[in-house]
Amino acid sequence: MAPGAPHLVVRQVSKRFGAAHVLDRVDLTIARGELVTLLGPSGCGKTTLLRLIAGLESPDAGSVELAGRDITRVPPHRRNVGVVFQSYALFPHLTVYGNVAFGLKSRGRSRGEIDAAVGRALSLVHLEHLGARRIAALSGGQQQRVALARAIAVEPDVLLFDEALSALDRKLREEMQVELRRLLREVGATAIFVTHDQDEALTMSDRVAVMFAGRIEQVDEPRIVYARPATLFTLGFVGLSTRVSGIVAGSNNGRVEVDTAVGRLSAIGNFLIGSPVVVAVRPEHVRAAPETAGNCVAGRVRSIVFHGSNSLVEVDAGAATTLLAQIPNDVSAPPRVGDEIRLCWPVAETFAFPMPEAGA
């Protein structure tokens, strides 16, 4: 749910580099105080979209509005945005204080104001004691915090993070995700994160915009993106899934019967009879149980990957089809490799997507 009125509006923005369409008529609306992630594989246009919002690229078509002002043709230094770069881009010839004060000095603030604002920003990131330190004398995590403090200090209309956490090691990254989210909430910032890391996207944001080939495939709350992916791409990019292709044999009230290589499956969806579709299910809905309701497929266990409280079981269902099932490890007789197994899952958790055209 978007709290408040539109704060950042990207309207029909297109951008090409040479012959390549990097962004293709992208629309995105973000409310004040919202944390939104642009998620997608490299080359999907997410960084270009971020740079367009920052003013570091200009769109070939479309417009960008920020805080009620059309900034499409406004140069970056008059936009009031804060950017945290992947490489941090801290000024190596300045101290921590000098870096954080840079934006305030550019805005011609008084010395007292600058001191106070730098102090506030540094204490937000717990670096108030390192103001005099040189950048080269900081650890990667500390540099990350300085970059954040520098961007926050000017109280920008929107904070933009370009893969800002990807340079940190995993443990530090996970800590920073939680801390960053808390901190951004605390200062009421509107922020956009660019990442290819789905965990980061699901953890950090109020909404996730999944991007592919220059287009936004879906913008929704993380749980909806995961549980109700709008496109086959989103399904495949966020989380694990089993996918089986088939032909629609029956259609009734938002439910379709699909003939596949592993038998007839029921799924949610509206398709004409005879349409080629892909039927999909998340592994956590697949159970090794003697249920009779829903979709059931038999097969042989090919591999088991232990994940603590559950195991990811790969089942060969024949006809070149592999099913993924996430089986809780509390069952008395866990499946073993080579076992014959019958897997069932509810129809309500079975999606049907139109078959992508050849080559796509």
Partner 1 sequence: MTHAAAQAPAGKIVDRDRSAALAFLAPSLLFLLVAFVTPLILLLGVSLAGPSGLSLDAYGKLLGTGYYLTVIWNSLRLALLTTIFALAIAYPAAFALARARGMVRTALLTCLFLPLAASVIVKAFAWTILLRSDGIVNRILVGLGLIEAPIRMIFTETALIVGSVNIFLPFMILPIYAVVTQLDRRLSEAAATLGAPPIAAFLKVTLPLTLPGIIAGVALVFSLSVSAYVVPTLLIGERYPTLASTIAKAYLLARDPQFGAAAGVALLVIALIVVTLSARLAGRENSR
Q: Which residues bind partner 1 (CB under 8 A)?
A: 54-56, 75-83, 85, 87, 89-93, 102-103, 106-107, 134, 137, 150, 154
Smallest distance, Å, CB 46 to partner 1? 17
76 vs 154: CA distance, rounded Å: 14
Residue 298, CB-side half-sphere exposure with 13 Å CA sphere: 4
65 versus 291: smaller Cβ distance to partner 1: 65
R_g of the chain computed on alpha carbons: 24
Q: In this structure, are residues 100 and 177 in contact, taking their beta carbons and an 8 Å threshold?
A: no
- Nearest residue to 251 via CA among 276, 269, 228, 230: 269
Task: State the Cα angle at 86 between 171 and 93, rounded to 5°.
Answer: 110
82 vs 85: CA distance, rounded Å: 10
